[in-house]
Amino acid sequence: MTAKDRYRALCEVEPTIPLFSRAWWLDALAGEDHWDVAVVESGGQIVASMPYVIRHRWGRLSLSHPPLTQTLGPWLRETGAKQAPRLARQKELMQKLIQALGKYDHFGANWHHSQTNWLPFYWAGFSQTTRYTYRLPDICDEEKLWSGFRENIRGDIRKAEGRFGLQVRTGLRLDTFLRLNVQTFERQGKDLPYSRDLVEKLDEACQRRNARQVFIAEDEQGRAHAGVYIVWDANSAYYLMGGGDPELRKSGATSLCMWEAIKFASTVTKSFDFEGSMIEPVERFFRAFGAEQTPYFAVSHTPSKLIRAAQCLRRILR
């Protein structure tokens, strides 16, 4: 059995491995043969892991993320040790993970917010940028959640249900959501950053695991105003994708869909992660749900001089 096979087996039984690092998620979005994992083993079990997607371009090897994947950093098995020995163990395990990566030309990974110690990677020459997501860490109390919303969000939800008579439906065809998703990118003049086939493959994998739900706000004429697509594991739900009809943007449908998604998430998991964003208008919208700003690390390392030059050129041309 290979280290990757052992990691697959671990993913089936270890609830603390984040959703985006699980083998079935990576199979769906990268393909079974296009990802691998660095592991550290002790006493016959995996005690640390770090999966990555393998990409070859211009004869260079990059280790990175697949699309639609918020985080893909290290996982360390917790032991309950006090801080000093815990940090020492983290250093040892992370150093071994770095060694297990082998040679590459570029490495980039957004870490799960629970991993707050990147010092061993810094000592090994890696760089870090702090990014932010917005989270509702406890979604069990619906009344408390509602009271934490800013008035504009509560007003949007009331408007959507009252003046526009919207109802949020689940169980609709994925096509309905994808049309809304595409419309949002078209309105912004952007290309869709993933293919329809990829979303369909992920959707099939999530349905097999009972790990996704789609919420569509419709009016009495059957017009779809907005949609929200969430995924989850035992610890958190994640807002993965959204979309809306640009001609119906003022109905408050997105806020209504998000509220219904949060309420549903409370029946299957513990918390809700809005997945960012660093884009100012999106950040303002997420923050208005009373979510907590939570930092996470974007860690990278680029030994290749060619890739470093290309990165520098892109920054100059922005």
- Please spell the DSSP secondary structure of 40-107, one letter per residue: EEETTEEEEEEEEEEEEETTEEEEEPPTT------EE------HHHHHHHHHHHHHHHHHHH-S-SEE
CA 122-125-128 angle, 5° bins: 50
The Cα-based distances of 216 to 86, 163, 262 in angstroms read 45, 17, 14
Q: Residue 311 pLDDT more than 90?
A: no
Q: Residue 270 pLDDT more than 80?
A: yes
Q: If you average pLDDT over residues 92-110, what whole number do you get?
A: 97
The pLDDT score that the predictor gives to residue 316 is: 85
The pLDDT score that the predictor gives to residue 309 is: 84
Among candidate residues 237, 318, 310, the one with its CA nearest the CA of residue 60? 310
Q: If you average pLDDT over residues 278-302, what whole number do you get?
A: 94
Phi and psi at residue 19, to the nearest 5°: -50, -45
Q: If you average pLDDT over residues 265-280, what whole number do you get?
A: 92
**Residues contacting 293, CB < 8 A, separation 6+:** 132, 134, 287
Q: Residue 107 pLDDT more than 90?
A: yes
Among candidate residues 131, 33, 32, 3, the one with its CA nearest the CA of residue 73? 131
Q: Residue 276 pLDDT more than 80?
A: no
Beta bridge partners of 36: 52
193: left (phi over 0), alpha (psi -120 to 50) or beta: alpha
Q: What's the predicted TM-score (pTM) here?
A: 0.95
Among candidate residues 55, 60, 98, the one with its CA nearest the CA of residue 304? 60
The pLDDT score that the predictor gives to residue 202 is: 98
Q: If you average pLDDT over residues 147-173, what whole number do you get?
A: 97
Q: Residue 172 pLDDT more than 80?
A: yes
Q: What is the Cα gyration radius of the chain?
A: 21
Q: If you average pLDDT over residues 194-213, what whole number do you get?
A: 97
57 pLDDT tier (thresholds 50, 70, 90) = confident
CATH for 138-270 (3.40.190.10, 1.50.10.10, 3.40.630.30, 3.40.50.740)? 3.40.630.30
DSSP string, 193-240: SS-HHHHHHHHHHHHHTT-EEEEEEE-TT--EEEEEEEEE-SS-EEEE
Give the integer Cα–Cα distance in Å for 108 and 115. Answer: 15
64 pLDDT tier (thresholds 50, 70, 90) = very high
Report the share of the chain in percent with pLDDT over 70: 100
Q: Residue 47 pLDDT more than 90?
A: yes
- Architecture of the structural domain at 3-131+296-317: 3-Layer(aba) Sandwich (3.40)
The pLDDT score that the predictor gives to residue 179 is: 97
Q: Residue 41 pLDDT more than 90?
A: yes
Domain ranges of the chain: 3-131+296-317, 138-270
258 pLDDT tier (thresholds 50, 70, 90) = very high
The pLDDT score that the predictor gives to residue 58 is: 83
The pLDDT score that the predictor gives to residue 300 is: 97
Handedness of CA 101, 58, 28, 271 (dihedral sign): positive
The pLDDT score that the predictor gives to residue 286 is: 95
**Residues contacting 144, CB < 8 A, separation 6+:** none
- Residue 53, both tokens: 């997607």
313 pLDDT tier (thresholds 50, 70, 90) = confident
Among candidate residues 151, 172, 173, 171, the one with its CA nearest the CA of residue 252? 151
Q: If you average pLDDT over residues 25-47, what whole number do you get?
A: 97
19 pLDDT tier (thresholds 50, 70, 90) = very high
